[in-house]
Chains A and B, each alone.
Chain A
Amino acid sequence: MEMLLASAIGALSAAGIYLMLRLRSFPVIIGISLLSYAVNLFLFATGRLAVNAPPVLRDGVETYTDPLPQALVLTAIVISFGMTAVIVIMALGSYLSSRSDTVNITRDTPAEQEGDA
């Protein structure tokens, strides 16, 4: 159980970091999603792994699992979901306006009218 979870977190993080280093918006977004899955599993495991144990108080139950990490994971999932939506829209807007999906800003990107680069 511990081995399985630990290797899953490791594999997800490794794949996520590899994809992020590709520096093209689509792989980067997938990489961020994989990393956020990894961190969700990691948070879930921080309350120790207990099988078949309830998180809320109940009569006649001796062993409980820690409910707090589950609440934290829920918050983290909601936030990462919203953030993924934002980055998808921004990457799309950036691609449509510049016709390039590289994350790097190259020298030939024109300076903005309002701003200055």
Chain B
Amino acid sequence: MNHWIIAPVVLPAVMASIITLTVRFHPQLQRIFSLASCGALLAIALGLTAVAATGSIEVYELGNWPAPFGIVLVLDRLSALMVLITAALALVVLLYAIGSGWDQRGNNFHALFQFQLMGIFGAFLTGDAFNLFVFFEVLLIASYGLMIHGGGQRRLRAGVQYVIYNLLGSTLFLFALGTLYAVTGTLNMADLAERAAEIPVGESGLLRVGAVLLLLVFAIKAALLPLHFWLPETYAEAPAPVAALFAIMTKVGAYAILRMYTLVFGPEHDATADIIPPLILFAALVTLAVGMIGILGARRLGRLAAFAAIASMGTLLIAISGFRPETTAAAIYYMIHSTFAGALLFLVVDLVRSQRGEARGAMTPAPRMPQHGIIAALFFASAIASAGMPPLSGFIGKLLIMDAVRDMPEVWLIWSVILVTSLIGILGFAQAGSAIFWKTTTPEPVPEDADAAPVAATPTPALPLVASFTMLAGIIALSVFAGPVTHYTEATADQIHTPSGYINAVLGQR
């Protein structure tokens, strides 16, 4: 048994405890521990991905209880890739949080950050549906703390909405799991897959109810319309590094959909195959349209970035709804891209906000920023990535998706929605960019008495810029090495579309 599989869950849990219990009053030590943890996690994630890239499916039985009686963690290509994306994102976001001083604007940022990572890694690695619920709760409760980090009236009120919405989602999750348990008598995903396949179509009423309830839960996480209401306010109000980390949270929902609806309720199951994919497809098309129109309609940068996140989830879920190897491969490529592009956009928005004085993120004329050129270039690059224009990976991702859906009956609808909404998105980004970076005002001459002078916006220190450019470098690398990455995603898609491999790995050869 490969014990490294549990490391991404245990390491952040231990680090978070150390940070809260022993170095609580030492900000510098907290930073060092947090950075060390994220660096180690990235190294572990690279190692795990190298193991998974050989095509083997590794199973870790907690407490050495054999499946399906005990809880298992499963490492396959998909979960290894998600762990790697999360680890890379976390390290860059943490650098930004430290460089910009966000981590010192409240207590316990680093501990919550580590707990959040623990929940996310656990959700990606677990092979048990109830354990998935538990890890969802771990990542949610840490995200509640991170969301209101720094405090403030409006952020608290947005936080309350976010918590209430997700508590409802958790309750729904339990109802769904209860229904599935009542029908199948198991919650181990591999075992669920076997038992669900044995239920005849005529008697599968409750199973279908469970499957759709579960889809609703994951749709809340993935911000699929009409369950996306929590996202714009939450992402716009959350501290910037937290919003950037949340870029992976919506992907947790997408990952769960991909996992459950290929493994347990796969396209070969007659009971659910005719309801799940159309539901996801049409909701995703509307999500994409609303997200892009939201970009065009946003009057503040925070909401623009939030709607860009919604739009990218729409594009991603369109590809997922195909549920065939070629669409899944495209979806996974787009998932990597949209995580980094979404996070970069939130970081750039924060750079803009911190340098524009009173105007903050509003799209109104304001004095030139101290580092006007460099930030404008970053915004330009992240807008290109988010809108899906060449030469960055957003374009490649959309191209892959449009190519992959060619055999689907709804191909014309999908193509027209993706192309038209891309145009709307480009317009929205262009409008925002020109309002913020071109229409600058000349600052009023500073009066003689220094006390009355407005506080000049200070230039950003180097570290946040380095973090943002690292993120951009990741996106460029994803575009340049699109070939090798696509090979990996194709192998991943093949692996998750042959669920027998997963089931045999977990339950043993029978």
Q: Which positions in A face B, CB cutoff 8 Å? A: 20, 25, 28, 32, 35-36, 38-39, 42-43, 45-47, 68-69, 72, 75-76, 79-80, 82-83, 86-87, 90-91, 93-94, 97-98, 103, 105, 109-117
Contact = CB atoms under 8 A, between A and B. Distances in A.
Contacts of B151: 93, 97
Contacts of B148: 90, 93
B157 A116 contact: no
Interface in B171-223: 171, 174-175, 177-179, 181-182, 187
The 9 A-B residue pairs whose C-beta atoms are closest, nearest first, are A116-B361, A46-B182, A94-B156, A116-B302, A112-B154, A97-B153, A46-B178, A39-B174, A112-B152
A45 B347 CA distance: 47
Contacts, number: 135
B174 A76 contact: yes
9 contacts: A32-B167, A68-B181, A69-B178, A69-B181, A87-B163, A87-B167, A94-B160, A97-B151, A114-B239
B157 A83 contact: no
B238 to A, nearest CB: 7
A112 B141 contact: no
Contacts of B402: none
B159 A115 contact: no
Chain B: interface secondary structure? Answer: helix
B178 A116 contact: no
A86 B187 CA distance: 28
Contacts of B156: 90, 93-94, 97-98
B152 A113 contact: yes
A28 B164 contact: yes
Contacts of B163: 83, 86-87, 90
Nearest to A98: B153
Given A42-B174, A83-B163, A116-B362, 16 more contacts: A38-B171, A43-B178, A45-B178, A47-B181, A68-B187, A69-B181, A79-B137, A86-B163, A90-B148, A90-B159, A91-B160, A103-B157, A114-B353, A116-B301, A116-B360, A117-B237
B433 interface: no
